[in-house]
Structure 1
Amino acid sequence: MLKTRILSALVMAPPALLAAWAGGYAFAALIALAAALMCWEWHRMLNGAYTLSGRVASAGCALASLLAVARPDIGLAMVALATLASAGLAGSDRSGRVWAAFGAVYAGLPSVTLVWLRDDPAAGNAVIWWLLLVVWSTDIGAYAFGRLIGGPKLLPAVSPKKTWAGLVGGMISAGLAAVLVAVVVGTKAGGMVFAAGAAVAVVAQAGDLFESWIKRRCNVKDSSNIIPGHGGVLDRVDGLLTAALAVAALTLATGRTVLDW
């Protein structure tokens, strides 16, 4: 399984990094595809079928990602519209409507956020590369430290394989990746950048645990099986979703990009 995971990652990483480098509609198209697939996975996990509610969520979130290139505000409005429409088509059960609405927000809001972050003409390319490499390093470091050290479990009721050692390893790896990207792009690479990477690692791990909780609630092992060795798109980007929202929120709050903190 490890060999399969590595091969899948080697296949997926170059297109993602190339799209991030290209930016614009090339990057937005990749995000739109991921958003549509996430909605598909969400509704199949929750409902066991890809209903009209899920199809509307997929179309709306994909369109929102594309609209965000020129108008992020219109992209957010489209996510809101997709959320209301998906909930309205989810049937009469209140719980079903709530989960349908949340699925559209869960996939759509980070997707628009990623396009918005990349759209910064001065630092968008560096920020997205920083974010991707920090999240990927979190996963790699958590896996390596967890396997090598083991020890107490992080949250066994939700994800029995995750350990505190893995969390620390993910934070260290993410901090080092954050500094490395800062050095490569020629910005400050001090303790604050390392701390920012480590903090984003914690947020990414929280996103991973949240998706694990959803899967346990739905009694499924993976969100889908379209990525060999990894499961589904949600399984692959769960940490990126929360990390993107955190970076965007702090960017808005401070008025500076993550590489300037």
Structure 2
Amino acid sequence: MSASTRWSDLGPRFGVGALIAAVGLICLWLGGLAFLALTVLISGVIVWELVRMLDPEAPAVALACASGVALLIADLLPTGYALPLVLAPIFVGIGQLKRHRATFSIFTLMIVLAGFGMYSIREEYGPTWMLWMALVVIATDVMGYFAGRFLGGPKMWPRISPKKTWSGTIAGWLGAVVVAIVFLQITDANGQLIGLAVALSMASQLGDIAESAIKRRAQVKDSSSLLPGHGGLFDRFDGMLGASVFLLMTAAIIDFPPGTVTGF
């Protein structure tokens, strides 16, 4: 592969990635309805992409809207009342899809939980820790991308994700460590933040691999063509889905943020 071919997607990836990051950071900082709207929109679009990949004849728009509305209402209710709504879109989809229902169920649960988790983390812990999680995922992706292109080496799982290398995977973990060290200097968190950052990085990579498995099954290159250089929103946010679901499930167990009394 020539150097020009290897880096041919860098321009579009950088431009679209910068735009997504800017919108995301603004909504993250504003919080409230702005961040709620962002998480609901992203989750709904990803469900639309998922359905189109799994069963093109299924009503993707209707299922995306159902997921978005359920998530919107769930975010505004106390958690105990919200949980049935998180699961409700799955049962709607089971009645509409003719194939790949199990895959749809698992990934729709992950998508809606991730949207619910991101909004919950922002509301409970403030912008600092939501930003930390986002930067861990971004560092994992960026370090993995450049290390994989520069260093290459053995593939991690070539049948599922042909471009993912072990060098890029490990570089992603190191990027997460750097982010954690920076936040150790500006917050009251203790050293356990480093281990948590690496775990989030791993969860992010598993989200990426899981989405790659869906695309292999559907025999498509990208989840959609919405984002030049990135494919679809699922392609862009697969890592964030894995990380946010992981943090949502473990925050109570690890007393998040580690070493602090409350987030800020």
User: 136, 150, 153: which one pairs with 1:151?
Assistant: 153
Residue in 1 that maps onto 2:250 = 250
Q: TM-score, normalised by structure 1?
A: 0.89
Aligned partners of 1:21 and 1:48: how far apart in 2?
37
Aligned partners of 1:210 and 1:64: how far apart in 2?
24
Q: TM-score, normalised by structure 2?
A: 0.88
Between 1:80-89 and 1:137-146, the stretch displaced more is: 80-89
How far does the alpha carbon of each residue in 1:120-170 deviate from its partner, in whole angstroms, 9 at most, with x for none?
1xx231121011010000000111111221111111111111111111100
Residue in 2 that maps onto 1:193 = 193
Partner AA of 1:240 in structure 2: M
Counterparts of 1:1-261 in structure 2 under 5 Å?
Answer: 1-49=9-57, 51-52=58-59, 54-67=60-73, 68-91=75-98, 95-120=99-124, 123-184=125-186, 186-188=187-189, 190=191, 192-257=192-257, 260=260
Aligned partners of 2:66 and 2:85: how far apart in 1?
6
Partner AA of 2:27 in structure 1: A
How far does the alpha carbon of each residue in 1:227-250 deviate from its partner, in whole angstroms, 9 at most, with x for none?
110000100011111111111112
Aligned partners of 2:258 and 2:242: how far apart in 1?
15
What RMSD over aligned residues (CA atoms) do the two structures have, in Å?
1.9
**Would the alpha carbon gap of residues 258 and 87 (structure 1) be closer, same or farther in structure 2, given more than 3 Å must change?**
farther
Aligned partners of 1:182 and 1:15: how far apart in 2?
26
Q: 1:259: how far off?
A: 7.0
Q: 1:258: how far off?
A: 5.3
- Secondary structure of the structure 2 residue equivalent to 1:188: coil
How far does the alpha carbon of each residue in 1:11-41 deviate from its partner, in whole angstroms, 9 at most, with x for none?
1111101111111221110011001101110
Q: 1:79: how far off?
A: 2.1
- Secondary structure of the structure 1 residue equivalent to 2:97: coil
Greater relative CO, 1 or 2 (CA 8 Å, sep 6+): 2
Aligned partners of 1:29 and 1:18: how far apart in 2?
12
Paired positions, count? 252
Percent identical residues: 31
**Would the alpha carbon gap of residues 142 and 134 (structure 1) be closer, same or farther in structure 2, given more than 3 Å must change?**
same
Aligned partners of 1:217 and 1:259: how far apart in 2?
43
